[in-house]
Amino acid sequence: MRDRIAGTSQIFLLRGYGMDCSRIKDAIYLFLDNEMGEEVASEFENHLASCPSCARRRDFTTRWLVQVRRRAVRLCAPDSLRQKVLRSLRSNGLERLSP
Ligand SMILES: [Zn+2]
């Protein structure tokens, strides 16, 4: 079964270059976003099982992404502030910017 091709990095990985430490950095993001086909994911996991340095990079990147996504949710403006901003835009003749 052929892997699904998800992007430039995936194509690069599939062209017979194999999986090594220099390619793990890009591959981590494909893996964490479930954008990596099964065959390449298996290569990726095999490499991490035998490379503590890349395994640490994967763990760090995973934690970092979780923090970024949590903070992104916290940055949503409360509805009362949103309404206040929209009223201000309308009162200044900028209503076309509001939804
Ligand atoms: Zn490695």
Question: 92 C-alpha to center of ligand 1: Å?
Answer: 57
Q: What percent of the chain has pLDDT over 90?
A: 21
Is residue 97 over pLDDT 60?
Answer: no
How far away, in angstroms, is 72 Cα from ligand 1 center?
A: 30
The runs of H, that is alpha helices, within the chain are 8-12, 21-32, 38-50, 52-74, 79-91
pLDDT band at 84 (very low <50, low <70, confident <90, very high): very high
Contacts 24+ apart (CB under 8 A), 60-68: 61/28, 61/29, 61/32, 62/32, 65/32
> Backbone phi, then psi, for 77, in 5-degree steps?
-70, 145
Q: What is the pLDDT of residue 82?
A: 87
In this structure, the chain runs to a length of 99
Read off the pLDDT band of 71 (50, 70, 90).
confident
Place of tokens 């062209």: 15
CA of 57 to the centre of ligand 1 (A): 9
C-beta separation of 29 from 61 below 8 A: yes
CA of 55 to the centre of ligand 1 (A): 7
Question: Residue 5: what pLDDT?
Answer: 46
pLDDT value of position 70: 81
DSSP state, 3?
P
Quick one: pLDDT band at residue 59, thresholds 50, 70, 90? very high
* pLDDT band at residue 98 under the 50/70/90 scheme: very low
Q: Which sequence spans correspond to the domains of the chain?
A: 8-94
> Mean pLDDT: which of 10-19, 48-57, 69-78 is highest?
48-57
